[in-house]
Chain A
Amino acid sequence: QQQVKQSPQSLIVQKGGISIINCAYENTAFDYFPWYQQFPGKGPALLIAIRPDVSEKKEGRFTISFNKSAKQFSLHIMDSQPGDSATYFCAAYSSSNTGKLIFGQGTTLQVKP
């Protein structure tokens, strides 16, 4: 019930294309859904996050779509660039669970020039 399932494991997209990464969860107590971006040799860093009271959040080329009834959320990267090549993790958090942050399995994105 604490799991967050992420797909695909890897993704190759041409420059200018749209990258889409999907996540699903079971625990309805989750109330904060962040996405983290990790470059090689670095720790993950927060990219964008959403709370379940909205269905979409956009920051520049990055958009989270959230479907509360389906318990799914996804990251869309518009106009993907080679600099977006990284590993992306979705995560979920429950404010009733003393700050425990649960991560998905990760998606390695490669954007080809």
Chain B
Amino acid sequence: DVKVTQSSRYLVKRTGEKVFLECVQDMDHENMFWYRQDPGLGLRLIYFSYDVKMKEKGDIPEGYSVSREKKERFSLILESASTNQTSMYLCASSSVPNTEAFFGQGTRLTVV
């Protein structure tokens, strides 16, 4: 069974903290994605990676960075968390040329 695992379902962090969201996939996929989901705004792409150590900005990269040191792991970093980063964060992976994306269950992050 294919699996994308996000390290936390719920997180509460304080303003200004450095936050790490971890994602691991077991399908040997080349592509990995971080999306942010907010009501009425859909899934907005923050960053994606198409290979180890390769990354590309999505539509809303400001305030975020990413790391992909190994093929199976893709980390999203909030350098200094702010309240407007309170959201649901979804990780996904896919393989080229099969473009189906598999999603994790999401991390609900609250910044207080």
- Asked if A and B bind, the verdict is yes
Contacts between the two chains (Cβ within 8 Å), count: 65
In the assembled complex, which residues on chain B have CB atoms less than 8 Å from the CB atom of A34?
Answer: 99-101
State the interface size on chain A (CB cutoff 8 A): 25
Question: Using a Cβ–Cβ cut-off of 8 Å, how many residues does chain B contribute to the interface with A?
Answer: 29
Q: How far is the CB of A31 from chain B (nearest CB, A)?
A: 9
Which B21-46 residues have C-beta < 8 A from chain A? 30-31, 33, 35, 40-45
Q: Is B85 on the interface with A (CB-CB < 8 A)?
A: no
- A100 near B105 with CB under 8 A, answer no
* CB of B109 within 8 Å of the partner chain: no
Is B74 positioned at the interface, with any CB of A under 8 Å from its CB? no
| CB-defined contacts of A9 to chain B, threshold 8 Å | 40
Asked whether any CB of chain A lies closer than 8 Å to the CB of B94, the reply is yes
For A45, the chain B residues whose CB sits under 8 A away are: 102-103
CB-based nearest B residue for A51: B99
Partner of A100, one of B56, B103, B104: B56
Tell me which residues across on chain A come within 8 A of B64, comparing CB atoms. none
Tell yes or no: B90 within 8 A of A by CB: yes
Closest Cβ of chain A to B8, distance in Å, is 14
Among residues of B, the one whose C-beta sits closest to the C-beta of A42 is B105
Are A100 and B45 touching (Cβ within 8 A)?
Answer: yes
Which residues of chain A (70-113) have a CB below 8 Å from chain B?
Answer: 89, 93, 95, 98-106
Q: Is the CB of A93 within 8 A of B99?
A: yes
A32 within 8 A of partner (CB): yes
> Is the CB–CB distance between B40 and A102 below 8 Å?
no
CA distance A2 to B30 in the complex (A): 22
A3 vs chain B, min Cβ distance (A)? 9
Docked CA distance A103–B31 (Å): 16
B31 touches A106 (CB 8 A): no
Q: Does B4 contact A (CB under 8 A)?
A: yes
CA distance A72 to B31 in the complex (A): 27
Q: List the interface of chain B (C-beta within 8 A of A).
A: 4, 30-31, 33, 35, 40-45, 48, 50, 56, 58-59, 90, 92, 94, 96-97, 99-106
